[in-house]
Amino acid sequence: MSSAATTSSGGQGGAAASQAYVTLMLGDQLCGVPVLAVRDVLAKQPIARIPLAPPEVAGNLNLRGRIVTAIDLRQRLHLPKRAPDAGAMSVVTEQGSELYALLVDQVSEVVTLKAADMERNPPTLPPVWAENSRGIYRVSERLMVVLDVDKLLQIDTGMAA
């Protein structure tokens, strides 16, 4: 979605276009989020529960005086719950004027990959992952799922309008 995140060594687009991703882990799965979608990365933070919130909304946290809605990506992507003693890291992103923290198991490094090397989602990718993925890369003999932040933030509240 964000073409501004794509860079090129020769002007407009082309085969040299590349994209930088913040890499993270969800369980055993390597994932990537476009670096320009990330405002901050936080270590474990206290999270206040929100009564009657959808299950994937872990609660709110405070980031320098701003309220940030925390989304548990394990819950959102149908992974087993995190162990109670395991801390989650937060990848903070902004949608509209609201801040959201995507709770992940671990944040690693920033990698730059060629846009032309991105592949379509394999048919073996679970449907909930495929719905929230832009595609995959092969990175160091592993598959990195590129997460679609906008789709991850579309939470079904279950309420009819």
CATH number at residue 43: 2.40.50.180
Is the residue at 7 inside a domain?
no
Alpha helices (H) in the chain, listed in sequence order = 73-76, 127-131, 149-152
Residue type, 97: S
Is the residue at 125 inside a domain?
yes
Is the residue at 143 inside a domain?
yes
Q: What is the pLDDT of residue 94?
A: 93
Q: pTM to 2 decimals? A: 0.84
| Residue 51, domain extent | 19-152
Is the residue at 90 inside a domain?
yes
Is the residue at 48 inside a domain?
yes
Q: In the numeric block, which tokens belong to residue 1?
A: 């979605």
> How many domains does one find in the chain?
1
Q: What is the pLDDT of residue 86?
A: 81
The angle at the Cα of 147, spanning 82 to 40, to the nearest 5 degrees, equals 75
Is the residue at 119 inside a domain?
yes
Measured CA to CA, the distance from residue 142 to residue 29 in angstroms comes to 9
Is the residue at 31 inside a domain?
yes
Q: How large a percentage of the chain has pLDDT more than 70?
A: 86
- Say which range, 40-44, 96-100, 113-117, 155-159, has the weakest mean pLDDT: 155-159
Query: For residue 48, what pLDDT band results from cuts at 50, 70 and 90?
Result: very high
Winning range, highest mean pLDDT, from 9-13, 19-23, 79-83: 19-23
Is the residue at 124 inside a domain?
yes
In this predicted structure, the answer to whether residue 139 has a pLDDT above a threshold of 70 is: yes
